[in-house]
A and B are shown apart, each in its own frame.
Chain A
Amino acid sequence: MGRIQLKQVEKSFGDVTVIPPLDLEINDGEFVVFVGPSGCGKSTLLRLIAGLEDVSGGVIEIDGSDATSIPPAKRGLAMVFQSYALYPHMTVRKNIAFPLRMAKVSAEEQEKRISNAAEVLNLTPYLDRRPGQLSGGQRQRVAIGRAIVREPAAFLFDEPLSNLDAALRVGMRLEISELHKRLKTTMIYVTHDQVEAMTMADKIVVLQAGIIEQVGSPLELYHTPRNLFVAGFIGSPKMNFIEGAEAEKYDAHTIGVRPEHIDVSETEGPWRGTVGVSEHLGSDTFFHINGTGLADALTVRASGEVGLNRGDTIFLTPQADKIHRFDRQGLRIG
């Protein structure tokens, strides 16, 4: 079981409020991602759940019982740290065994769970090495192994992939998702990378300045962002925002169109501009369009390779049903 509820949880350091009171419910077995720019309080929120920081107010419930003042060791949660936080003086085996040793699990049971975890994580050949002799990806797996042997109520991940290089990141992302499918244990995952959030989460919690901007499934956030911040944060490349006369045509203060929802033509369309920088990814091409008079620059996506060069004139047509409308306060209309 791993249902976690935050009720009016807040945190301040001295006079500085990092997290104003917030409510959040995490269901058993859910993969929840906290995402937001750095300094948004997502890591602090995770540490509050872990018990590594005290809440300044509010209640944290784990499986229906108040865990607010229970020390981290007793909450039945496991955490994977950004720096992996492996014990450098212990072998991989001892690292993974450490939580079991602390819980006074019998030797045979320890051995069983360790070899199980090692197999799942492909660590069997490395069990007698020290962390210093492992690659970044392997260390990451040891940290995960240390977490799963405890059979915790929930896993907490604090930006676990940010120290890996890009290629490894994609691989580990899949492995963690895979692990979640198999274990069906609650996972709370903190990242600043919205791609990680979109690809892994059942539920995304978008945070800014300690405030929850929106909670929802990846596609909900993509299709119906609740406000300008979420609209701009989720999706890559960023959504285009247009204010002024053009927005008023749609009865809004600001309208937003994702680059993939703008059709490109060399001959006709309501918006006209010139091609600036183009980024060729092979499968897609992103154009930065200048001189539309709508915004500084618009980004549009074209499938495959399109024969447009810098300085060419281009016509753009937004897909009418994919236009997001926001009011003066930046909140979604409709």
Chain B
Amino acid sequence: MARAVTTQRKTINTIIAWAIGLLIFFPILWIIILSFKAEGDAIKTPIAVLTSGWTLENYGVVQERSDYAKHFFNSVILAFGSTILGLIIAVPAAWSMAFVPSKRTKDILLWMLSTKMLPAVGVLYPMYLIFIELGLLDTRVGLVVVLMLINLPIIVWMLYTYFREIPGEILEASRMDGASLREEILYVLTPMAIPGMASTVLLNVILAWNEAFWTLNLTAAKAAPLTAFIASYSSPEGLFYAKLSAASTMAIAPILIMGWFSQKQLVRGLTFGAVK
């Protein structure tokens, strides 16, 4: 145990840390504040902004003008669809690697991770052509598949590290108890791995929700998720601070909340287990 710290030192720490924390968080806070202001007030000086009245109208206007709900719905479909699809493919693969390791397991895992490192822009045109050829351009199905493929290595990897913490004897016990492979995975492994799977889902939903290369380049009006929808505000006619703020607040709020719950898993997932 560290020794007792003087109250004075603790107070100084607290003040500095809170000041820096608020400074870093300030842009997000400012977005949220502006989203509740009238368009005319939002461009005033900060003090005038803070002293002006509050309103909810921006949230209504954003939905009316641009069918915000559709894009939000697209984001939900893409994020959860790609994660669930990825999970279905990754669970059996991670089971194999964790419980029936062979000499090549490590190489396969590393190779899978290495696919994650390919710069997307390097294969932009081929993907574009493939999407046109298959009629997938601006469809949710196409993007679900692409986002799943991008995150599959991370899903496999995270599940693998969680599965490895489950003692193999328990799975052997279920085999002795007469469980088939399917029953073993369904009744024994999956329930035991639920916490790990939940954090895997959480992290991958976050990553898919925020993905901003393929979603920008492979969608137009129909399948565009929030990333692409927000980007459309960059054209000058969209320069309404309050409305931009309202749209942004809605786009980041769900993920912000999920993210706060997944801090620990974030480290594990994003460093591929190299830092725990």
When A and B assemble into the complex, do they touch directly, with CB atoms less than 8 Å apart? yes
B-binding residues in A (CB < 8 A): 50, 52, 71-74, 77-79, 81-83, 85-90, 98-99, 102-103, 146, 150
**Would A73 and B191 count as touching, CB distance under 8 A?**
no
Chain B residues near A81 (CB, 8 Å)?
169, 172-173
B37 to chain A, nearest CB (A): 50
* One of B22-30, B176-184, B240-248 contacting the partner: B176-184
Q: Number of B interface residues, CB 8 Å?
A: 18
Chain B residues near A77 (CB, 8 Å)?
176
Complexed CA–CA distance, A150 and B177 (Å): 8
- B130: CB under 8 A from chain A? no
Complexed CA–CA distance, A146 and B188 (Å): 15
Interface residues of B in 153-208 (CB under 8 A from A): 167, 169-170, 172-180, 183, 187-188, 191-192, 194
Complexed CA–CA distance, A103 and B177 (Å): 8
Our pick among B170, B172, B179, B194 for the contact of A102 (Cβ within 8 Å) is B179
A317 to chain B, nearest CB (A): 51
Complexed CA–CA distance, A83 and B166 (Å): 12
B196 to chain A, nearest CB (A): 13
Chain A residues near B175 (CB, 8 Å)?
52, 71-73
Chain B residues near A89 (CB, 8 Å)?
191-192, 194
13 contacting pairs across A/B (C-beta < 8 A): A73-B179, A78-B177, A79-B173, A81-B172, A87-B170, A87-B173, A88-B170, A90-B191, A98-B177, A99-B177, A102-B174, A102-B180, A102-B183
B175 to chain A, nearest CB (A): 5
Chain B residues near A146 (CB, 8 Å)?
173, 177
Complexed CA–CA distance, A103 and B187 (Å): 14
Complexed CA–CA distance, A73 and B176 (Å): 5
Chain A residues near B179 (CB, 8 Å)?
73, 98, 102
Chain A residues near B170 (CB, 8 Å)?
85-88
A-binding residues in B (CB < 8 A): 167, 169-170, 172-180, 183, 187-188, 191-192, 194
Chain A residues near B174 (CB, 8 Å)?
87, 98, 102
Complexed CA–CA distance, A87 and B169 (Å): 10
Chain B residues near A99 (CB, 8 Å)?
176-178
Chain A residues near B176 (CB, 8 Å)?
50, 52, 72-73, 77-79, 99
Nearest-neighbor residue (CB-CB) of A50 within chain B: B176
Nearest-neighbor residue (CB-CB) of B192 within chain A: A89
A54 to chain B, nearest CB (A): 12
Our pick among B167, B180, B194 for the contact of A85 (Cβ within 8 Å) is B167
* Contact (A88, B192) CB under 8 Å given A73-B177, A98-B177, A103-B178: yes
* Contact (A83, B192) CB under 8 Å given A73-B176, A103-B178: no
- The residue in B176, B183, B191, B192 that gathers the most chain A C-beta atoms within 10 A of its C-beta is B176
Nearest-neighbor residue (CB-CB) of A78 within chain B: B176
A58 to chain B, nearest CB (A): 21
Chain B residues near A78 (CB, 8 Å)?
176-177
Nearest-neighbor residue (CB-CB) of B180 within chain A: A73
Complexed CA–CA distance, A74 and B172 (Å): 13
B197 to chain A, nearest CB (A): 13
Chain A residues near B167 (CB, 8 Å)?
83, 85
**Would A85 and B178 count as touching, CB distance under 8 A?**
no
A74 to chain B, nearest CB (A): 8
Chain B residues near A83 (CB, 8 Å)?
167, 169
Complexed CA–CA distance, A85 and B187 (Å): 14
Our pick among A85, A88, A90 for the contact of B172 (Cβ within 8 Å) is A85
Chain A residues near B191 (CB, 8 Å)?
87, 89-90
Complexed CA–CA distance, A285 and B153 (Å): 65
- The residue in B172, B183, B192, B194 that gathers the most chain A C-beta atoms within 10 A of its C-beta is B172
Complexed CA–CA distance, A73 and B175 (Å): 5
* Contact (A102, B178) CB under 8 Å given A85-B167, A87-B188: yes
- The residue in B174, B177, B191 that gathers the most chain A C-beta atoms within 10 A of its C-beta is B177
- The residue in A74, A77, A83 that gathers the most chain B C-beta atoms within 10 A of its C-beta is A83
Complexed CA–CA distance, A293 and B188 (Å): 62
